[in-house]
Chain A
Amino acid sequence: MSNNYFNSLSLREQLEQLGKCRFMHLAEFTDGVAALKGKKMVVIGCGAQGLNQGLNLRDSGLDVSYTLRAEAIADKRQSWKNATENGFTVGTYEELIPTADVVLNLTPDKQHTAVVNAVMPLMKKGACLSYSHGFNIVEEGMKVRDDLTVIMVAPKCPGSEVRAEYVRGFGVPTLIAVHEDNDPNGEGLALAKAYAVGTGGHKAGVLMSSFIAEVKSDLMGEQTILCGMLQTGSLLCFDKMIEEGIDAGYASKLIQYGWETVTEALKYGGVTNMMDRLSNPAKIKAFDLAEEMKDIMRPLYNKHQDDIMTGKFSETMMADWANDDKELLGWRADTAESAYEKTAAADVEISEQEYFDNGILMVAMVKAGVELAFETMTSAGIIADSAYYESLHETPLIANTIARKKLYEMNSTISDTAEYGCYLYNHACVPLLGDFMKNIKSDVIGAGMQLNHTGVDNARLIEVNEAIRSHPVEAIGATLRGHMSDMKKIV
């Protein structure tokens, strides 16, 4: 039944859609929530995203109610409790959808086809259907009724943060898009902007993108650098440390919290700042390791991007959905059996700086993964802004999940598309880096370089710094982080 929408477009149209991504100016939101004022918004699903977005929209003066499946209401399930305890009207699809001016589909991707097929016949003429992810439209080729407007509003943070930031008087960065085939009245952009204002997103920065750019960049980022590289890196680094005689509990802790610590530096000042946290000899070492890994892994990143573009990836994954997630659940179970996953973090103190000093290889892996994902996306026609958000910007979020949950739970909590894709990556990348890892010793992972003097050659240091700072991800990163801090006065 699936009918890849992207593949139905001409190359010209594909490139045009992929190239859409623009940071919107605050002045573009002066109409506030006016476009949604007095309209009836009905949310499908009341998990963390559904509930918290609804709370924000209501506090912005909008009319919000929730629709759940009849069983969820009859059994008074958690989603029903979430909505009713917060004073929202709850009703079945049949009761509420026909009254809705805007339907907010905030269910998981996998349910989209069933949900949209169920609600579409009930929606009134000229209403709006909103998504928070474009997979259903782009990869599954969902055809939405011609009279309906289709938009996407995707806050780039977990639901609880969407609420917490709103209550503070701020918001979270948000991506919006209009599905141009479904914008019969030309009101899609106005609705998406008002929705973003209603959740507070306009204060933190809104990116105007397209369904296609969102899907193709999101899939690429999540399966390579974000979930894939951190997973592969965790397994390889742990096994190497054990081989080198590092205490297993220490190794486990260095990895579990190391990604979070080094990518925190990335969040504030890009790859440059992350590398600057290393001593000069360590920085040069990390640079060389990253260059070597980039050469080895480049064909793999290209393959992932190619499979995403052609639709081969989503086809393979949807076949597994149809097969009750057999592959996915099997691979997930394997993660639980890895030596890293089974070794608890020791109760030893590791200082913030020590995570850098003893995790040189991890820093190199983050650098290689971020730069490769960015390079691959931009060379495939995705604009630099999108590529930045889906690579560097989100890496600290996944690293934070590993710090709290390690790999098995990380895999269980990320989206189903991210999880399936990152297993494919991991299965290919571990053997690919096999020969490279043979030459790795504890000086770059586990023990630190332990140098008596930290002198380096001036010319070489200048060369390395220049190469780090002149990478294109650093230029766009500086610009976008600049926008953010203009808005959020972090003083």
Chain B
Amino acid sequence: MPLTASISLKNVTVEFDQGFICNKINWTIQPDQHWLVCGSNGSGKSALAAILTGAGDIESGVIRGLPRRIGVVSFEAQSELIEAERRKDDADIMDVIAEGTPVAEIISAVCKDQSLADELCQKFGLVPLLDRAFRKLSTGETRKVMLIRALTCNPQLLILDEPFEGLDVDSLSALQQHLAAVSESIPVVIVLNRLDQCPDFITHVAYVNDGELTHQVKRADTEAYQQLHQLLHLKTADLSIPPADPDTSIPALDPAQPLVRVTGAAIRYGDVVIFDQLDWTINAGQHWQLSGPNGSGKTALLSLITGDHPQCYVNDIFVFGFIRGSGESIWQIKQFIGYVSTALQWEYTVGTNLRNVIISGFYDSIGLYSKYTDHQRDIADQWLAVLGMESRADQPFTSQSYGDQRLLLIARAMVKHPPLLILDEPCLGLDDMNRQRVLALIELICQRSTTTVLYVNHHADDKISGIEHYLALENNHPV
């Protein structure tokens, strides 16, 4: 049954966990309208959309007309589901290795339209993964599962927080086509970081700042729309990189040797081959971009280099002067690497403050377990200033917005000026303004001769000017 009456929020104030407040929201969504919600990182745009899903505690005001069935996609919902799967894992107390719920079951748990689900699985390339455990999927793959759940629950309203993030090109166009079709019968609310991805069917744009809905603009009003675009594209101020710490110097490397040399590498799970016969040499000063569709093994390849993948011990890998498996420790490898990824962000759940998160980059630890020096503390504070977060140094990391957490982890990765900086989709989940800041920062790093950058991404438009070497993974092989 389609939505017939409007959804209205009158003077609504909602308090979320960690004390974030959406203040005095007045907003009406007509059944034939489609909204784009935007704003900078931490502005509360995701929170605004989440109010429609029943999140937070309503302090005052009235919400009317919310439908019963709402399809929701967001990083929060995604990580909640992953967390729920993790909680089901009793490996620690049962002394067995649990597999987790298969993808097909995760979908069918909420699915009201199996033929649509089948069609979408086909289009998103998920069919071969239906029997695999949900929590074994890559970031992009879990996102697709979330989308299918939202689209097939027979929704009367769709709320999609960054639905296009992390999708490969084919899946992205399949999704856009499908949304264009369903938007004829269901109102859609999309939270987006990039206005340039705004679908054609969007009729209205909401701009959120500091927990308040400050602008509501009709798409047809071109002048107002343009202003909003500029507001989001605020050009960054002068950026400079804080210095390294002279007291915690990284051992010098032999300049005649490459940083990384992978020879005939393969990753296999049982009979499944993720990739094989892969040769790759990274020389100091050569910046690389690595790309490939979801599940092609990009992150697995990186984790062979970082030592996080257990099969690094059965491959021929030379990193930073060590042949892996010759008695070196993982910490001897990690000291040369700065690393950022979505998975790292999900794992970084320890209770510590912003400053300590950055200092932990000196020790390659998640959380801080060592006594740091005053000098390291100063450097961390300089990084916080670059990020515009100096006043929040003592706040808990876990209470920061998704985008702010990412910026902090990038600073953590860069803080020791590592010989190799690995950025695994560093802009995933960031808004335009912060994306610009991150890209500018990466370009600055690329220009430095001491740090070699290895950059992984989907978005063709996130080009880094200093990068000249490319490796693409496709069909289990480098191309």
Contacts and interface: CB of A to CB of B under 8 A. Distances in A.
B384 to A, nearest CB: 15
Contact of A49 (B89, B95, B308, B347): B95
Contact of A168 (B94, B96, B269, B366): B366
B314 interface: yes
B385 interface: no
B310 A169 contact: no
Interface in A85-111: 85-88
Nearest to B394: A491
B368 interface: yes
A60 interface: yes
Contact of A169 (B89, B307, B367): B367
B346 interface: no
B15 interface: no
Contact of A48 (B95, B327, B347, B351): B95
Interface in A127-184: 158-161, 167-170
A488 B367 CA distance: 9
Nearest to B334: A169
Identify the interface centre among A170, A487, A491: most chain B CB within 10 Å of its CB.
A491
B270 interface: yes
Contacts of B332: 61
Contact of A413 (B93, B314, B347): B93
A404 B331 CA distance: 34
A491 B352 contact: yes
Question: What interface size band does chain A fall in?
Answer: 35 or more
Contacts, number: 95
B368 A489 contact: yes
Interface in A28-75: 33, 37-38, 47-49, 51, 55, 58-63
Nearest to B322: A61
A491 B353 contact: yes
Interface string B361-404: 00111111110000000000000000000000000000000000
B329 interface: yes
Interface string B386-428: 0000000000000000000000000000000000000000000
A116 B331 CA distance: 34
A296 B331 CA distance: 54
B116 interface: no
Interface in A351-387: none
A253 interface: no
A159 B310 CA distance: 17
B301 to A, nearest CB: 15
Contact of B310 (A37, A78, A87, A160): A87
Contacts of A348: none
A159 B95 CA distance: 8
Nearest to A50: B95
Contact of B97 (A60, A82, A158): A82
Nearest to B327: A61
Interface string B311-351: 11110000000000001111110000000000000010011
A490 interface: yes
A401 B93 CA distance: 8
A55 B308 CA distance: 10
A294 interface: no
B93 A51 contact: no
Given A87-B314, A491-B356, A51 B97 contact: yes
Contact of B329 (A47, A59, A170, A203): A59
Given A51-B97, A489-B356, A167 B368 contact: no
17 contacts: A48-B92, A48-B96, A55-B310, A59-B329, A61-B327, A63-B327, A78-B97, A81-B270, A86-B311, A87-B310, A87-B311, A87-B314, A158-B92, A160-B92, A169-B366, A169-B369, A170-B367
Given A33-B329, A48-B97, 17 more contacts: A47-B95, A48-B96, A59-B307, A59-B329, A59-B330, A61-B328, A87-B313, A159-B92, A160-B92, A167-B308, A167-B347, A169-B363, A401-B93, A413-B94, A489-B352, A489-B370, A490-B352
Sort A-B residue pairs by CB-CB distance and give the 6 closest, nearest first.
A169-B365, A158-B92, A160-B92, A168-B366, A86-B310, A59-B330
